[in-house]
Structure 1
């Protein structure tokens, strides 16, 4: 039965792939389309001012055709290849160098626009977003040389426009590089977080089954004596080694002071039975709503009083299983640390925004500092079996313990839209 409790279940993690540079690609797509329309509008407005308007019109047809077939190429980094960027920049350079051949010298001297006009900046920014600030700097330098060659001199307005495009491309390229580095760091952090949560889940299952069985074998072996005593000694050694392994793997993360009873060493038969039913709830296809009362009712007995609402207390199967596991861990602590004569009470409250389960006992309470000592010793009943479970559910586990007056653990699981029915 203990094996059934610790069987591996798929971790329900939702991985969201984010890309902070994707909005830049969308913006570049829109800019290229609008800039191409603007260049065509400028040509149409100054048609009669060109020395060779048909030659300028031929380039505009080339630009329109190029945009019609390639506007999707800058929709993402995967589609925007290096070869495309080179050809795209070539289309812009051809338009710039073609301008003196189709336009009048007076218009060029007066600072008239080149044939591609501001569309050239889109070709340059594509390099910056794709390859970073270095690619952007090289592409803007090539476009700048072409603009100066078209003008035939280092005119102030031409140099100003060239420097503006160069600074913009370098700045955007640098921002993209920083964003990509941040994405990689975030992805790595999310992987570490997911791995840590999975280790904690496995450690909880081990604590609730294997460790407690080993502790029980150790005590029974010592009580029986003979060969059983040697078996008990070996079981005790394995328990200590396993606790050390778990605590060393998880202790680095740190969760602050423990907030519940000390983890128990024994595994009552009722706990194993309930753990099996909890595993069934967690493995319920589709994570359908499960009545929490069915998981907690078997705890009731001569030493445990169980109070429940008259209506079903529905939670998703996985949430019900984790909450039931936390209650079992709390009752283990009562049995192992409050004494054989201790009485325990379980109270289930079904509120509109949360499900609250309170486990109270009339034992001697918990001495101050005992919880922190237990976690350092590798006894992770509170840190993992109780607090860890509730933390993963987005809930909380609060402890109130007065020496000589017992201990009370309040477990609160918030309701989501899924289980609000």
Structure 2
């Protein structure tokens, strides 16, 4: 991601500054009894600083193999310190040959993999540093460096992860804004042409009657579908579906679908099962209520639940009829509606009054 660029450049600057610091310490010959070997270590550090700066700047090369090599080079330079220091090893004020340069891999791991990766790299480097100190029995073991390494891994990893998440949100917001602008442009164009023609065909078809009325009905359905398409909001997150879009497909002159203005975002599989249950309820309306019957679908959400009700103006269900159908093996309501909703952790309530229609209410956690 582009947001990582400043992090890698900052690590490159840290490597160069730490390399210069280690070289200055070597020039002062403070506690380094083998300066030739010390300058060899500095040379390795300089070569790897140049190579790592280039490698981390290329996204194709940036990965765990490079991170592992980076950590191994730093550990090799760190563990060479006793040979550079000689008899002065462990003396007060004497730093390892690479000095602060060994912290660079910790920062790189933290930027690439987050807090846990940063802590893992810090543990490796801190273990090497503590091992060098423990080898000298007369020298007190200080853990300041280890603590700083762990803090660096945690803080840098956390900030890096937050930056990546912020970039992803900003990118999605930009995509949603662009999609909304394009949708508004299409809505204007369609409203000025296609929707007006479909509305005219619907009105004229009803006036003429006969086969023209059927064409008018189909034109009305397409007009409603187009209006829903161009007026829909931004697409839901990946793996989710706006339940409203699935329910509005059932809309027709005989079926009125009412949904809230805000999206009813559910996991795609859950939304599909709810829509299928609603479709099964509408199939029952068409099968048992006869021609001319009307149905109403109402969807709403409140207090962490989503409720979808299907109501009709048919003759109602006689008492005991559902139990008889289940006993006879007809599983329309029991399987297509109750079974689907039960698998989602929801509940189905069916209220029917003879002569006053039936209402099927589906409730499930949002």
Tell me if both proteins adopt one fold, taking TM over 0.5 as the criterion: yes
Q: CA deviation at 1:250?
A: 5.2
How large is the RMSD of aligned CA atoms in angstroms? Answer: 2.9
Q: Secondary structure at the match of 1:108?
A: coil
Specify whether residues 252 and 156 from structure 1 end up closer, same or farther in structure 2 by C-alpha distance, changes over 3 A only: farther
CA contact (8 A) 2:201 2:219 kept: no
Is 1:42 paired with 2:22? no
Gaps in structure 2 of 5+ consecutive residues: 235-366
Aligned residues: 232
1:205 to 173, 186, 189: 189
Query: What is the match of residue 166 of structure 1?
Result: 150
In structure 1, C-alpha distance between the alignment counterparts of 2:211 and 2:94, rounded to whole Å: 95
In structure 1, C-alpha distance between the alignment counterparts of 2:232 and 2:202, rounded to whole Å: 29
In structure 2, C-alpha distance between the alignment counterparts of 1:218 and 1:80, rounded to whole Å: 61
Specify whether residues 37 and 202 from structure 1 end up closer, same or farther in structure 2 by C-alpha distance, changes over 3 A only: same
Is 1:126 paired with 2:108? yes
In structure 2, C-alpha distance between the alignment counterparts of 1:62 and 1:212, rounded to whole Å: 75
Deviations along 1:209-246, one digit per CA (max 9) or x if unpaired, are 122123334555677x5xxx546534542443233223
Q: CA deviation at 1:96?
A: 1.6
Deviations along 1:47-66, one digit per CA (max 9) or x if unpaired, are 6x422111112211222222
Deviations along 1:41-91, one digit per CA (max 9) or x if unpaired, are 2111226x4221111122112222222333212225543332222222222
In structure 2, C-alpha distance between the alignment counterparts of 1:131 and 1:179, rounded to whole Å: 13
Q: Which has the higher contact order (CA 8 A, sep 6+)?
A: 1
Q: CA deviation at 1:203?
A: 2.9
Query: What is the match of residue 2 of structure 2?
Result: 19
Query: What is the match of residue 244 of structure 1?
Result: 224
Q: CA deviation at 1:21?
A: 2.4
Query: What is the match of residue 143 of structure 1?
Result: 125
In structure 2, C-alpha distance between the alignment counterparts of 1:221 and 1:90, rounded to whole Å: 79
In structure 1, C-alpha distance between the alignment counterparts of 2:225 and 2:233, rounded to whole Å: 14
Query: What is the match of residue 117 of structure 1?
Result: 99
Specify whether residues 109 and 133 from structure 1 end up closer, same or farther in structure 2 by C-alpha distance, changes over 3 A only: same
Query: What is the match of residue 213 of structure 2?
Result: 233
2:16 to 25, 33, 40: 33
TM-score for both structures, normalised by structure 2:
0.56
In structure 1, C-alpha distance between the alignment counterparts of 2:55 and 2:232, rounded to whole Å: 47
Is 1:184 paired with 2:164? no
Query: What is the match of residue 92 of structure 1?
Result: 74
Gaps in structure 1 of 5+ consecutive residues: 1-17, 255-421
CA contact (8 A) 1:211 1:239 kept: no
